[in-house]
Amino acid sequence: MFTRMRWSGLLFCAVAGLCLLAWSTGLRGGDRTAEAETILAKATDLLDLRGTDGAPFLLKAEVRLTEGAKSVDGVFAVSWAAPDRFRRVIGFPDYKETDVARGENYYSKRNTEGIPLMIWQLGGLMDSLELRKELPAGSKVRRVENESVAGKEATCIWTGPGKGDFKICVYAATYELASIDAGLDGPPQTQRRYEYGDYQEFRAKKYPRHLAFSGWDKRAIEVKVEKMIPVHEFAADEFAPPAGAVISKLCNGTEELKGHPEPLSGARIPVGFDDLDMDIYFEITPIGAVRSAQIVYSSDPKSNKEILSWFLGTSFPIKTCDGRPIGYQTLYHFGDRR
C-alpha cells in the first residue's frame, strides 16, 4: 500500500493480474496447476468491475479500525469514473484524507504529514483484491487443496516464491474470493488474514459487501459496504481538487523497487540488540529517506525508542514508477537484518 494509495486499480480489479501471472508448474505432481489457473482466472473475471463492460460507480462503506482494546469508526468512499478520474475520501475522528485523480495529475490532502499504520493497512485490505500487487515476483503454485471455508466448499491455492507464502481460497460453486492468508513463511505476529463475504451482484459482476483484516498483534479492520451503485453521470465538481492539496503525478505505470525494502545505510545496530525481534512500519520519501517509523511488534518494548532513533538515520532503496522516484510505505522485520 503507499504515499499515494493507487486507487486507479484499487478495489475494482479483484485478484486482477492472477490470470496474467506466469504460474509455474512447480506444483508437486503438476496435476492441479491448470485447475488453479482456471479457478483464479474465473474469480478475476467475476470480480473485475473495471473490465470492458465497466461503468462509473459510487462506493460508500463504514469502517472500524481496532488496535488491541481500542476501536475507532470512520467512513470510506470512492467515486470512480475511470482509472485516471476518481475521488477517494477517508474520514476518522483524528484523520481526514481526500484524493483526486484527474488525468496525469494526482491531488492529495490530509490533516497529517504521513499515513498512519492502520490507514495504510485499510488501503492494503482494499488493495488485496488486486492481488498482483501482493504477490512477490517469481511466485509459483505450490499446492492445491479442497477445504471448508465459512461452511462452504472452497479450493485453496498456496503460492509464492517460498514453500507457499500466500494461501488464496475461492468458493468452488461460485468462484467468489473467500480469503487470503499472507506472510505464512514469516513469524506469527506478521502474518495477515483477509476475508471477503456477503457478495452482491453488480451488473454482470459481483463485489463483497464485507471485507475484514486481522493480524499484526491484535490489530483488525472491518469494512461494511453500505452503498455500491452505478452512476450515469457525476456532478460537474465531483472531481474538483480539494483546496490546498499536494499535487503529484498519477502512477498508472510499472512500479519498481531498486533492491529489497530494507535499510541500506546508517550507523551500526546498537550493541546488545542482536536478539531483538521487531517489526516496523516505515514511510519512505522519493529519495529513500525515512520520513517516519512506527513499531508494529517488539519483543522488548523498552528498546523501542533507541531502535527507532537508529532507523531514522538510515536510508532505503528508491522506488520508481516508470522511472520516476515515488514515496512508499513498507513493513520491515528487524530480525531479517541479522
69 lies in the same domain as 213:
yes
Q: Is residue 269 one of the residues assigned to a domain?
A: yes
Q: How does DSSP classify residue 174?
A: T
Task: Based on the fold, state whether residues 175 and 320 are members of the same structural domain.
Answer: no
Q: Note down the domain range covering 228.
A: 18-249
Longest dimension (CA), the chain: 63
Say how many domains are in the chain.
Answer: 2
How far is the C-alpha of 72 from the C-alpha of 94, rounded, in Å? Answer: 10
Q: Is 226 helix (H, G, I), strand (E, B) or coil?
A: strand
Q: Are 152 and 263 found together in one domain? A: no
- 261's CB contacts (< 8 A; 6+ apart) are 282, 284, 316, 317, 328, 330, 332
Give the pLDDT of the chain (338 residues) as one tens digit per residue.
444 444 444 443 334 334 334 334 333 435 678 888 889 888 888 877 765 456 889 999 999 999 989 999 999 999 999 888 999 999 999 999 999 999 999 999 999 988 999 999 998 888 776 654 555 556 678 889 999 998 999 999 998 776 668 899 999 999 999 999 988 877 777 788 999 999 999 888 889 999 999 998 789 999 999 999 999 999 999 999 999 999 998 887 788 888 778 887 654 566 666 677 888 899 999 999 998 888 888 888 888 888 888 888 788 999 999 889 999 999 887 764 44
Please give the model's pTM, rounded to 2 decimal places: 0.83
Tell me if 192 is assigned to some domain: yes
Same domain, residue pair 95 and 227: yes
Q: Are residues 229 and 299 in the same domain?
A: no
Domain assignment of residue 71, yes or no:
yes
Q: In terms of domains, do 154 and 283 share one? A: no
b/e per residue 281-302 (b: at least 16 CB within 10 A): bbbbbeebebebbbbbbbeeee
For cell 490530509, what's the residue?
110
Same domain, 315 and 183: no
Look up cell 542482536; give the residue: 274
Q: Which of 214, 249, 284 is the last residue of a domain?
A: 249
